[in-house]
Amino acid sequence: MTVHDLRDSPPPDVGFVERLTLTRIDTDIFTGWCHAGSPLRAFGGQVAAQALVAAGTTVEQPGRQVHSLHAYFLRGGSTVDHIVYMVDRLRDGRSFSTRRVRAVQYGKTIFAMSASFVEPMAGPSHRPDAEWITEVLPPQDVPKLDLADHLGRSGPLEDNGYPQREFIDIRFLEHDWARTFSHGHYDRMAWVRADEVLPDASLYHVCALAYFSDLSMVGTVLGHHGGSAEAGEWELASIDHAMWFHNRFRADEWLLFATRSPIAASGHGFASGQFFDAGGRLIATAAQEVLMRERRR
């Protein structure tokens, strides 16, 4: 991944690759800037993607690719100052490398993640039957989502940290149709891809998918409780997030993200999702728990 000189202010409103770019200030210490996902609060998907950039940059064995990550969102991050990513090299074995990353801001850890990297291996395989994907409305026939409106942006970048341009193209299929079509197995389906051609290195595409995965999981939980219109009554935040990567893919090509929320209880909501490529191949699985409780007066 690319590194640049330390900046005292956020980078200009540039492309998706630049938003994943970090500054290396020591062997295993990096800094980056994150845009907002809610007013003046760093978007969790970008924090996770940048943490994965930091972890992957320290894996020096050629050919090792991300196969899983497990993360906790501990505090809201600020968009008006950089975030420091500190990497611990837990293990470099014959086949696996394991890294732990802490994202720190103002001396406090706001995010923690463990990530595992592995060399490709031969072994038995099976996969779900996803021929149904050919019956899903193609992305060119689905309206593009205004991501700024989806995130609730109310002003330009300099006012609240939101990007002035969109980095991804996301297109939600009609939710009732998705439930009926999948016989209740999925609550939501969305086509998604990066809005620009990404470099060939697999780490870019894995980090982009980590970014994508945080865009609709909360909405999947809220869909059972009146949707975003009711969200003002509750305190909402991502608590933890996990992903498993099953096959190689490109995040600048159309992927279908199908998600479901089987339960919400005790102030927590749970959602899981699967990413398929346009041919129906399962490429990644994601899971997230969401804080969803009444606002404290």
Q: How do 83-92 and 96-105 pair as beta strands?
A: antiparallel
Question: How far is 143 from 173, CA to CA, in rounded Å?
Answer: 9
Q: Which of 50, 216, 238, 274 is catalytic?
A: 238
Q: Phi and psi (nearest 5°) for 23? A: -100, 130
Question: How far is 8 from 22, CA to CA, in rounded Å?
Answer: 13
Q: Residue 150, exposed/middle/buried by CB under 10 A (0-12, 13-18, 19+)?
A: middle
Is 141 labeled as catalytic in the residue annotation?
Answer: no
Cβ neighbors of 265 (< 8 A, separation 6 or more) are none
3-class DSSP assignment, residue 241: strand
Is 214 labeled as catalytic in the residue annotation?
Answer: yes
Question: How far is 149 from 152, CA to CA, in rounded Å?
Answer: 5
Is 288 labeled as catalytic in the residue annotation?
Answer: yes
Q: Which of 46, 50, 214, 277 is catalytic?
A: 214
Catalytic residue numbers?
214, 238, 288
